[in-house]
A and B are shown apart, each in its own frame.
Chain A
Amino acid sequence: MKHIKMAMLAVFVLFALAVAGCGSSPEAINQEASTSAIRAAQEVGASEVPSASLYLQLAKEGLEKAKALAANGNKEQAESMLLRAQADAELAIILSHGDADKTEATAALERVKTLRQDNK
């Protein structure tokens, strides 16, 4: 009876270790795409454009969440979160460019208007 109890205890300990191990060892994830996208968004001045700065912030937060998930061993969920962060950063880039394009269009239209007014 005693050795049966010992065996059961050993099995239990092993099982507990296995369960703990499944949920807690850090996983490596490929952050390169989202990190590059965030850097690119910063370089084009997304933080200066109101609409773009929101998505840049979301991208950074998403990257941190992904790292936390990876640290907890949730690799698949972490990689899914990285896709969110990358999408947010790419949107921030596009909105930054859009703002610059709008400024340029406004200036070009103003130039034509001024030329026509000055030469009436």
Chain B
Amino acid sequence: MKLIKYLTLVAFVGLLISCSASVPPKELSNARQAYHQASMGQAAKLVPAELHKAKTALDAAEQAYKDDPDSYKTKDLAYVADRKSKMAEGLAQSAAEKAATEKANNDFQAAQTEILKDTKEDLAASEKDAMLKAEKLASEKKARLDAEAALAKLAAVKEEERGLVITLSGSVLFASDKSALLPAAQERLNQVAEALLATKERRITIEGHTDSQGSTSYNQQLSLKRADAVRSYIISRGYPSDLVYALGIGEDRPIADNNSVEGRANNRRVEIIINRTGK
């Protein structure tokens, strides 16, 4: 009986010893897991040399485990192997972050270059636009000046607050007391119309004026008919009809003394006013 008990005890102790020998120390389990994790990640691609160091360290720990499972040497080697696997993971992560930084910096440069190029193109387009506008303005100004110069040769031209005023003598355009244009007047008006067409977008007001002889109402009607006659002729030469207006002023705005022959002749006139500020 005693012998049986003794043998049972020995067998039990032997079993315990053999079980503990087959369970690796936690340092080695951790090291194996750490290496597995590192090898499944970016380390194999980005830092293969570091991963290899980790593998070498793990192999050394495994060998120590085979030689002496419970020794401090096995545990320490496994501990170091665990750290080396973690180092490989950390270095791989750093390499990935550095690659991301480099790409981001390259993208930044490319975006800046693109923006600069677009800005330059926009600037060039704006400059070209501005240049074209300036050229157009200069051309328009020249046309206007040329027109004014041409008009100055045909009639009295004066710059007033209401615009550029072209004064045509009534006796040149109409027979006395008539509102039909004289043939000679048409030729003069052709030349005026040609000059006006150079500034075709401007509003024009045609005013008929008379001297003070005759009734006010008669002079009013006569001056309006004469202004209309000139308006119709200007339109017939191509000026836009919605930009030409006719007014009969009558005797209300004399520019000379109606008591003299010369004064009355000057008052009998047609004024063509070109609005300088547009339509």
> What residues make up the interface of A, taking CB atoms closer than 8 Å to B?
55, 77, 80-81, 83-84, 87-88, 90-91, 94-95, 97-98, 101-102, 104-105, 108-109, 111-112, 115-116, 119
Contact = CB atoms under 8 A, between A and B. Distances in A.
A120 to B, nearest CB: 11
Q: Is the interface of A mostly helix, strand, loop or mixed?
A: helix
A68 to B, nearest CB: 14
B108 A112 contact: yes
A109 B104 contact: yes
A102 B112 CA distance: 23
Nearest to B81: A87
Contacts, number: 70
A98 B100 contact: no
Contact of B97 (A84, A91, A101, A116): A101
Nearest to B114: A119
12 contacts: A80-B76, A84-B76, A84-B80, A87-B87, A94-B90, A98-B91, A98-B93, A105-B97, A105-B98, A108-B105, A112-B107, A116-B111
B112 to A, nearest CB: 7
B231 to A, nearest CB: 55
Contacts of B90: 91, 94-95, 98
B83 A91 contact: yes
B87 A90 contact: yes
Nearest to B109: A112
A77 B80 contact: no
Interface string B72-91: 11001101100110110011
Contacts of A116: 111
Given A87-B84, A111-B108, A81 B94 contact: no
B37 interface: no
Contact of B79 (A84, A94, A101, A102): A84
Contacts of B91: 94, 98
Contacts of A111: 104, 108
B98 A83 contact: no
Nearest to A103: B97
A101 B94 contact: yes
Interface string B189-211: 00000000000000000000000
B7 interface: no
